[in-house]
Structure 1
Amino acid sequence: MHLGHALQWIRSIIFVVQMYIAMPIVGLIYMPWAIFSPYGAVAGCHAYARYVRWTARWIVNLKTEVRGTPPTDQVLIAAKHQSFLDIIVIYSEIPHGKFIMKRELLYAPILGQFAYRIGCVPVSRGKRGQAIAKMVADVERGNQLPGQLVIYSQGTRVGPGVKMPYKVGTAVLYEQFGHDCVPVSTNAGVFWPRRGIYRKPGTAVVEFLPTIPAGLPREEFLARLEGEVEAASDALLVEAGFSPPAAPT
């Protein structure tokens, strides 16, 4: 193994360990404020996201760049999801992000409490529509802070160059939420894989694309979303020097 590669492995291990140690520490620091105000939970999550981006830069030489204009109003964000890094970058750039999450995560220490306080939407299988309807009603009644609802259109992390269909659930949420949609592309998976410890040095990009207005027919919206996000993400992969694996013969 080349010496530089070996050193990057060591840096990657140090980075991952300290990142997960920092999570409960930041959580405990902000917990008193978060208990009394959702703004405290939002501040704590922003602090942790920015800390991860900062430590990634100087420990493993992984910089992050944001392109486009992060939304500040109440919108649906439909994002390409390649790794935990794109979650970190998106959240750090928007004022009040909330995610659709598995209900089981509510029971995770600290993480679950903060997710609940920032307004994440816990869903059980088959009951996503009910959860979103309640969230929209809570915002309208002033019981919950308005913000940016983040959904991952393919339903899971997808490795660079891997093709996976966009789920119709995103279009259903677009209709139900009733707000504009901001697509987001990324090449984060080139540098921070969906699995594993090694972090590749370079510049990971998250790009906020032009807004898709509310009110489009479901099929038109989904086709436009997939076409724009995939094209932009593929361009970012090429920019990062990623070569997709050859198709099997």
Structure 2
Amino acid sequence: MKALRALVYNIGFFGGSGLLMTLALPLLVFPRRWTNGLAHLWTWLMFTWLRLVVGLDYEVRGRENLPAGPAILAMKHQSAWDTLAIFVLFDDPAVVLKRELWLIPVFGWFLRKHGTIAIDRDGKAAALKKLLADAEVAKAAGRPIAIFPEGTRGPVGTKLPYQAGVAALYTQLKVPMVPIALNSGLYWGRRAFMKRSGTVLVQILPAIPPGLDRRKMMARLEQDIETTTNALLVEGGWEKPVENSVDQLASNR
């Protein structure tokens, strides 16, 4: 039955997304706010479908910790769920994502129009320079910048190295850094077809103010996200925490 629900969800997700974006193609010639509205509608529909078919819902805690004005939203990454959630949880985020997504026909066009920030993960210094320039544009427009500080999805119970880009954003933009923990991987695993019913817990933590030493900020960011993520995993029924190990993760790839 779980496999059937997952199959039905995927059919609705890909079929519904394709239909909606095809019908919405004329919005590409309108101002960007129309695409922002489409992103909210799309993710709301997909999450409603997920709740109806799979029985997977979500709960957000700590919205009072979101600063007014631009901020960096640094979110734990365990699942494809997280990528969708950004567009429905936050207002008009400039999402940092891998450049390959821009190359997907139709979907990539909307990502560009929405003002996402695409990075070439092999581009090194040039990629970092472009990331900072695009983030400055988003900041000037009053938008939050959403980023996965680990850069990629990790299995439940694993902490990947936090990337230099998130520290560079903090140093350059001089805006609050908001740590965000979650336990989505319990229900929708990394690269997993199967999906479980339940409630994804998202915890928005108190913002780290601008102006801290770079190393101290990164240490606090990791501590806040990882400690709270582990607590949310346990609350969701995760019974056997494992020792975080980059070598163990590499062996699972």
Q: CA shift at 1:139, angstroms?
A: 4.7
Cα distance in 1, alignment partners of residues 108 and 67 from structure 2: 25
Distance 1:27 1:73, change over 3 A: farther
The correspondence of residues 116-195 of structure 1 with structure 2, limited to 5 A, is 116-124=112-120, 125-126=123-124, 127-139=126-138, 145-195=141-191
Return the offset for 1:202: 0.7
Amino acid at match of 2:209: P
CA distance in 1: counterparts of 2:181 and 2:200, whole angstroms:
11
What is the alpha-carbon distance in structure 2 between the residues aligned to residue 168 and residue 246 of structure 1? 25
Structure 1 length normalisation: TM-score?
Answer: 0.89
Number of the residue aligned with 1:208 = 204
SS in 2 for 1:242: coil
What's the CA shift for 1:95? 1.1
CA contact (8 A) 1:78 1:153 kept: yes
Q: Does 1:240 align with 2:236?
A: yes
Question: Could you tell me which of 49, 73, 80 is aligned with 2:43?
Answer: 49
Which residue in 1 is equivalent to 2:30?
Answer: 36
Contact 1:64 1:89 in 2 (8 A): no
Equivalent position of 1:217 in the other structure: 213
Contact map agreement 2:182 2:203 (CA 8 A) in 1: yes
1:12 aligns with 2:6: yes
**Matched residue type, 1:179:** V
Verify the 8 A CA contact 2:28 2:113 in the aligned structure 1: yes
Are 2:70 and 1:74 aligned? yes
Moved more, 214-223 or 96-105: 96-105
**Structure 1: unaligned runs, 5 residues or longer:** 1-6
Structure 2: runs of 5+ lacking an equivalent:
244-253
What is the rounded CA distance, in whole Å, between the counterparts of 1:78 and 1:117 in structure 2?
Answer: 22
Does the CA contact (< 8 Å) of 1:187 and 1:236 recur in 2? yes
Deviation larger for 108-117 or 179-188: 108-117
Cα deviation code 1:125-169 (max 9, x no counterpart)? 1123321332245357x7xx4311111111110111113222232
Aligned residues of 1:121 and 1:132 also touching (Cα < 8 A)? yes
Matched residues in 2 for 1:9 and 1:104: separation? Answer: 29
Query: Which stretches of structure 1, 4 residues or longer, exceed 6 Å deviation after superposition?
Result: none
Question: Which residue does the alignment assign to 1:3?
Answer: none
The alpha-carbon deviation at position 29 of structure 1 amounts to 2.9
Measured after TM superposition, the shift of residue 33 of structure 1 is 2.3
State yes or no: 1:199 paired with 2:198.
no
- Relative to structure 1, the CA distance from residue 62 to residue 53 in structure 2 (aligned partners, 3 Å threshold; closer, same or farther) is same
In structure 2, what is the equivalent of residue 22 of structure 1? 16
The one of 54, 62, 81 equivalent to 1:60 is: 54
| Alignment: residue pair count | 239
C-alpha separation in 1, matches of 2:99 and 2:54: 33
| Corresponding position of 1:94 | 90
CA distance in 1, matches of 2:36, 2:68: 14
- 1:109, CA displacement in angstroms? 1.0
The 2-side partners of 1:134 and 1:219 are apart by 22
Give 1:30 shift.
Answer: 2.7
Q: CA deviation at 1:115?
A: 1.1
Question: What one-letter code is carried by the residue in structure 2 that aligns with 1:169?
Answer: G
8 Å Cα contact 1:96/1:146 also seen in 2: no
Q: Go from structure 1 to structure 2 and tell me whether the alpha carbon gap of 1:139 and 1:13 turns closer, same or farther (over 3 Å shift).
A: closer
Query: Which residue is 2:251 aligned to?
Result: none
Task: Determine if contact 1:72/1:94 at 8 Å carries over to the other structure.
Answer: no
